[in-house]
Chains A and B, each alone.
Chain A
């Protein structure tokens, strides 16, 4: 396996979970290639070093010893399960024993065992399993039963609780455990950055699909979700020795797609000076990835369907009379998430590509916890590319990035980071202000926690829709004498914040007005002020005066400098530029510029 972080496995077992010195646990770790990181070896020396470990293992006995007796500990066990699931690295797999021996400790130091321990209907392992399965927060944990007990008596019961597999303790060693991890585990990948559950589940599904090796796999995903990366991952996981060949159809003329996909023989058309194989042939023995397969023109659909038919899988070069059999995995992608219902695809094509059972890639908004990792990755990538200073990214910036909905997904995030690093190459700290303002404007700044003594004030959500909440908040805000150190000397800061709030208010109105009155600037500015004041009779002179009030505070200076629309409005308000009439202004007055 090539994962950069060792997967972490939880082993819940009364025998191997006993505290060290526990030679049986050491032997199990050696056998399975596990690095014991339980951390309970205090005073007993470090665990034995395992060469090239496959995974990290945390052992949990699931029991407590009290007064010379051993009893099962369900709450404690579930706590261990939960804690390791909610933090990173989360459990990639949980191996669960069935029979837990309880009772008085005998002369060997082991519990003597009770009848109920041995009864399949009351196995403690199944009790743990039931509680994990019932808890929506834990249900996604991949659990595998690891036991030397007979499975027949409980087969149905553990299947009902979502168990992924049943492994005999005496049969498992390093290789079967690796297979288990690959098949059922939640594993990171080096190239597809992220560790969120939706992503890890998608990677697991990809490994399962690729195992067949010669299937057609349909990838559905919004733009920028990494369909090509996944296609490459599917190739890697298929174990196919041949090449991975991507074919991008978007923007390629229809007439060329036939040639790119199937190739041609010499003399097939003007300029075909020599025979050329197509992408399908080049991928023989490997994987062919066709991005935006919906672009394949109808004129070659018959040929395309023969390539997609797993029983036929043949390709025919342009100008050739014979077809060639291929052995390949075909990965097809589209961002048309409505592929089945859109009516844009032929039924025969849909059934061949497996449209009823696609792999859907999670959009970035559903894996916001991956954003810090992605940001770190892209920051480093572009620092290196631009020869820029290495930097840290502020928490505030990360929070803002996580709050955004990312319609362009990872590609959009990469673009934002690329621009930020490029624009501020010398900085060692990347803050929210350095990120693309177009994005950040969609996320209003969080209101700082107020030192208010009034418990009755409800916290507001800092979005533009909550003007009434903002007003309520401001109205209710008090400066309690007891908090003097916090408000003392803050007048200019408060005034500045208020002035910038008003300027942003005006800016929105100007933007809205611009759409209505593109060519008459006096109408434009007056209309913007009408929008704010609600005064439909507002005169242009008064509008200008109000605009000046909005923008004259020194705290707004930087906003004016960075926002052309505010800069222009301020100059008009000051009378430094005459407002243009009917699109024919003087004195170099430019029409309102769109803020980028």
Chain B
């Protein structure tokens, strides 16, 4: 049974960030570099795809915040066979394996790195959004000076994807 956290991570990191968002961002950057590229596709990215980050920001924030709780070996006591232990044992043994897990694996480091990557994406997004909002009309010519910022935004997205990807893929036992 795949833990729900893993499913949410896969939906965010694999399905949305890598397959969709970064791919569309790449496509947008390519069009911005190409003379005579389809303006409607450029606008579609700016108006529909790019702002999706504002929704997904919360998803990834929640994902990072819930990792320790949902992927701790303590969760094994919620499932068979360890859920057969009495409540007291579950409590103290659960706390113990959690503490051991935190000590053995760089859990705080993973979380810290992901939060840092998230913050970086968010900052770059905010700056780009502000610049885009001041444009009128939104076309290749107006957007061209923002190209380096979009490339940097993509780099930040890649780092976020890596940071999210380095969380373990299963509940690690201690």
Chain A residues at the B interface, C-beta cutoff of 8 Å = 15, 23-24, 26-28, 30-31, 48, 51, 99, 101, 110, 113, 115, 118-119, 148-150, 169-170, 173
- A27 and B10: CB pair below 8 A? no
A150 to B23 alpha-carbon distance, docked (Å):
18
Interface size class of B (residues with CB under 8 A): 20 to 34
- A23 and B6: CB pair below 8 A? no
- B24 and A24: CB pair below 8 A? yes
Candidates B24, B26, B49; contact of A173 at CB < 8 Å: B26
Q: Assuming A115-B1, A150-B165, A170-B158, is B19 touching A31 (CB within 8 A)?
A: no
Candidates B2, B14, B38; contact of A115 at CB < 8 Å: B2
| Contact bitstring B1-20, A, C-beta under 8 A = 1, else 0 | 11000110011001100111
Chain B residues at the A interface, C-beta cutoff of 8 Å = 1-2, 6-7, 10-11, 14-15, 18-20, 22-24, 26-28, 30-31, 34, 38, 41, 44, 49, 158, 161, 165, 169
- Report chain A residues within 8 Å CB of B161: 170
- B19 and A15: CB pair below 8 A? yes
Q: How far is the CB of B34 from chain A (nearest CB, A)?
A: 6
- The chain B residue sitting closest to A99, CB to CB, is B14
A480 to B2 alpha-carbon distance, docked (Å):
74
A484 to B11 alpha-carbon distance, docked (Å):
73
What are 10 A-B pairs with beta-carbon distances under 8 A?
A24-B23, A27-B30, A51-B34, A113-B11, A115-B1, A115-B2, A118-B2, A118-B7, A148-B18, A169-B23
- A24 and B44: CB pair below 8 A? no
Consensus secondary structure, chain A interface: loop
- A23 and B10: CB pair below 8 A? no
A362 to B38 alpha-carbon distance, docked (Å):
47
Q: Which of B22, B23, B28, B44 has the most CB of A within 10 A?
A: B23
- Report chain B residues within 8 Å CB of A48: 38, 41
A118 to B2 alpha-carbon distance, docked (Å):
8
- A27 and B14: CB pair below 8 A? no
Q: How far is the CB of A127 from chain B (nearest CB, A)?
A: 19
- A113 and B10: CB pair below 8 A? yes
- The chain A residue sitting closest to B158, CB to CB, is A170
Q: How far is the CB of B147 from chain A (nearest CB, A)?
A: 15
- A31 and B27: CB pair below 8 A? yes
A150 to B9 alpha-carbon distance, docked (Å):
13
- Report chain A residues within 8 Å CB of B1: 115
- Report chain B residues within 8 Å CB of A169: 18-19, 23
- The chain B residue sitting closest to A29, CB to CB, is B27
Candidates B26, B158, B169; contact of A31 at CB < 8 Å: B26
A23 to B20 alpha-carbon distance, docked (Å):
9
- Report chain A residues within 8 Å CB of B28: 27
- Report chain A residues within 8 Å CB of B7: 113, 118
Candidates B10, B22, B34, B41; contact of A170 at CB < 8 Å: B22
A28 to B23 alpha-carbon distance, docked (Å):
6
- Report chain A residues within 8 Å CB of B31: 30
A117 to B34 alpha-carbon distance, docked (Å):
38
- Report chain B residues within 8 Å CB of A118: 2, 6-7, 10
Q: Assuming A24-B20, A169-B18, is B27 touching A150 (CB within 8 A)?
A: no
A26 to B23 alpha-carbon distance, docked (Å):
10
A28 to B26 alpha-carbon distance, docked (Å):
8
- Report chain A residues within 8 Å CB of B10: 113, 118
- A28 and B34: CB pair below 8 A? no
Shortest Cβ-Cβ A-B pairs, 6 listed? A27-B27, A148-B18, A31-B26, A30-B27, A30-B30, A115-B2
Q: How far is the CB of B90 from chain A (nearest CB, A)?
A: 26
- Report chain B residues within 8 Å CB of A31: 23, 26-27, 30
A383 to B24 alpha-carbon distance, docked (Å):
51
Q: Which of A28, A169, A170 has the most CB of B within 10 A?
A: A170
A148 to B21 alpha-carbon distance, docked (Å):
13
A110 to B27 alpha-carbon distance, docked (Å):
21
- Report chain B residues within 8 Å CB of A26: 27, 41
A449 to B156 alpha-carbon distance, docked (Å):
71
Q: Assuming A115-B2, A150-B169, is B18 touching A27 (CB within 8 A)?
A: no
- Report chain A residues within 8 Å CB of B19: 15, 24, 148, 169
- Report chain B residues within 8 Å CB of A119: 2
A23 to B40 alpha-carbon distance, docked (Å):
12
- Report chain A residues within 8 Å CB of B11: 113
Q: Assuming A26-B27, A113-B7, A113-B10, is B18 touching A170 (CB within 8 A)?
A: yes
- The chain B residue sitting closest to A27, CB to CB, is B27
- Report chain B residues within 8 Å CB of A99: 14
- Report chain A residues within 8 Å CB of B20: 15, 24
- Report chain A residues within 8 Å CB of B158: 170
- Report chain A residues within 8 Å CB of B38: 48
Q: Assuming A48-B38, A113-B7, is B18 touching A28 (CB within 8 A)?
A: no
- Report chain B residues within 8 Å CB of A28: 23, 27
A170 to B1 alpha-carbon distance, docked (Å):
28
Q: How far is the CB of A180 from chain B (nearest CB, A)?
A: 17
- A27 and B2: CB pair below 8 A? no
- The chain A residue sitting closest to B154, CB to CB, is A170
A148 to B14 alpha-carbon distance, docked (Å):
7
Q: How far is the CB of B171 from chain A (nearest CB, A)?
A: 15
Candidates B6, B14, B22, B49; contact of A149 at CB < 8 Å: B14
A333 to B44 alpha-carbon distance, docked (Å):
58
A113 to B11 alpha-carbon distance, docked (Å):
9
- The chain A residue sitting closest to B25, CB to CB, is A27
- The chain B residue sitting closest to A14, CB to CB, is B19
- Report chain A residues within 8 Å CB of B6: 118
Candidates A23, A51, A101, A150; contact of B24 at CB < 8 Å: A23
- Report chain A residues within 8 Å CB of B44: 23
- Report chain A residues within 8 Å CB of B30: 27, 30-31
- Report chain B residues within 8 Å CB of A24: 19-20, 23-24
Q: How far is the CB of A464 from chain B (nearest CB, A)?
A: 64
- The chain A residue sitting closest to B1, CB to CB, is A115
A150 to B164 alpha-carbon distance, docked (Å):
12
